[in-house]
Amino acid sequence: MRLHEAKRDLYRRLAKEQGYRSRAAFKLIQAVEKYHFIKPGDRVVDFGAAPGGWMQVAAGLVGDDGLVVGVDLHDVRVKGPNVKSIEMDVHDPGVGQKVKDALGGLAADVVLSDLAPSVSGVWELDQGRQVDLTLRVLELSGSLLRQDGGGFFKLFEGERSQEVRDDFRRRFDVVRVIKPAASRSVSSELYYYCDGWKLPAA
């Protein structure tokens, strides 16, 4: 068995044993262990939430006084007193207001994005679509994320990656790239931890 296959099977088994809805849960767990960016009482918005692994992790971290709002095209069946789900396209013009309503009009402390397009098999097209999804989350964050808030974003590395990195650096004081151990070594995906959100100029 190849190394990346063994690692994939390890995290799949661990997810099943620990009750997480996806092995991707461990990507978020490992990032939070490194950067400590989700805390008790936080309000977290999770874009691309299905099947719900990140929502489960975030809900456990924010505790009873926090809130996690998941957004996805598909229904996310993660239940709990501190969890809300929105079945909606991130490109829908009304999605920002829907998230604000779910947050009770309060700003989010952290925005997560694990968005990926339906894969066509044409890498340039898929990477471009994934970049557009990430840029859309950054756009939405302008009206959702509090001053000095944080974010954790997936990015497919490719021709347009620099465009997103430049946007991260324009909007956040701190930008760090991370490849969680739970991410397959052969995968082109990288994750970016960002902190110190700069509110858009009035």
**Catalytic residue ranges:** 154
- What burial letters (b/e) apply to 55-78, b meaning 16+ CB within 10 Å? bbbbbebbeeebbbbbbbeeebeb
> Bridge partners of 43?
67
Question: What is the 8-class DSSP label of residue 64?
Answer: T
Pick the closest to residue 107 from 78, 135, 140 (CA basis).
140
Pick the closest to residue 54 from 106, 111, 2 (CA basis).
111
Radius of gyration of the chain from its Cα atoms, rounded to whole angstroms? 16
Residues with Cβ within 8 Å of residue 184, at least 6 apart in sequence: 4, 7, 8
> Bridge partners of 145?
108
Angstrom CA distances, 167 to 136, 149, 170, stand at 11, 16, 5
> Bridge partners of 84?
69
- Identify whether the C-beta of residue 52 lies closer than 8 Å to the C-beta of residue 84: no
Q: Which tokens sit at 116?
A: 């990926």
